[in-house]
Structure 1
Amino acid sequence: MTDYLRLAELSAATIVEVNSLSLKPGQEQFIAPTSYAAAVLQPKTSWQRVVLRDNKVVGFIHANFDPEATREEFRAALWRINVAADAQGLGIGSYIVKELMAEAQRRGIDRVTVLWERGESSPEKFFLNVGFKPVGETEYGEIIGAYDIPG
């Protein structure tokens, strides 16, 4: 499956497709609105990529690399990962996480974090399956997961 996948920078040509990615029922409640991510992140530290399969957008990742962030869990963080509903379960999410970890390693980073909520249709199982481990909780009850990149 991943033989057909590649990452590309978010562009004017792909942003409409990213905004049109459909999710499985119930998943949308676990994704922060785009406006939230934009308000929290600095454009200079943001890393956004689309996943193309045969030149069609099937996924999106929004990460942030800010070594000066005051909270450790925001220094190298996965903010958003979306995979089109009809493409879920095909290894695309795992591919995206693998590429994120490669980017973090290129930047000399050895830990990437993600926040998730528990519940039905929660992304928790996915994050655990790709290697994130719970390391704490936010003041809002979100789980803080960490992926430690082997040195």
Structure 2
Amino acid sequence: MRLEKVTPKNYEAALGLSVRPDQEDLVGPVVKSLAEAYVFPDIAWPRLIFDGDRLVGFLMAFLDYAWGDNPDDVRSGLWRLNIAADAQGKGYGRFAVEAVCAEIRARGGDRAYVTWVPREGGPEDFYLKLGFRPTGEQSDGETVAVLDL
């Protein structure tokens, strides 16, 4: 498994990635993430996830983001995670989270944040198994969680 930057040669394949239909309300589509990466280039870290030559997913981290109204509360974490419907359950999500955590550590960070939609069939169990713990905060109705690195 490896990460690659989104480039003119691979962005169309990235746009074709889709999660399972029952997950579409849980994560924005890749096209929205790429638009956000364009609008927020100072904090967005978009990457494609490959297994050999096969594109299996997309992730986008947020790095050094001033959270809320407190300019001293600077956070980094996983912003988006889209694993192709037919590639789920094979370790790609774990790989993606570990890659984001490694990037945060490399930049001197000691905590990774993530949010999720709190509903049946959502990703809560996945993130809890990886060690994330809810902070008690909400962001646009989503649960905020943190992992100490």
Q: Which residue of 2 aligns with 1:148?
A: 148
Q: Which residue of 1 aligns with 2:4?
A: 8
Using the TM superposition, name which of 133-142 and 76-85 deviates more. Answer: 133-142
Q: Name the structure with the higher helix share.
A: 1
- Equivalent pairs: percent with the same residue? 38
- Code of the residue aligned with 2:92 in structure 1: it is I
Alignment of 1:106 with 2:106, yes or no, is: yes
Provide runs of 4+ in structure 1 moved above 6 Å: none
- Structure 1 residues 146 and 13, CA, compared in 2 at 3 Å: closer, same or farther? same
Q: Which residue of 1 aligns with 2:61?
A: 63
Q: Name the structure with the higher strand share.
A: 2
SS at the partner of 1:30?
A: coil
Contact in 1 for aligned 2:77/2:104 (Cα 8 Å): no
Q: Which residue of 1 aligns with 2:76?
A: 76
How far does residue 36 in structure 1 lie from its aligned partner after superposition? 9.5
User: What CA distance in whole angstroms lies between the structure 2 residues aligned with 1:104 and 1:82?
Assistant: 19
Aligned length in residues? 144
Query: What root-mean-square deviation, in Å, do the aligned CA atoms of Structure 1 and Structure 2 show?
Result: 2.4
User: What CA distance in whole angstroms lies between the structure 2 residues aligned with 1:70 and 1:118?
Assistant: 20
Unaligned runs of 5+ in 2: none
Unaligned runs of 5+ in 1: none
Q: Which residue of 1 aligns with 2:16?
A: 20
User: What CA distance in whole angstroms lies between the structure 1 residues aligned with 2:18 and 2:28?
Assistant: 15
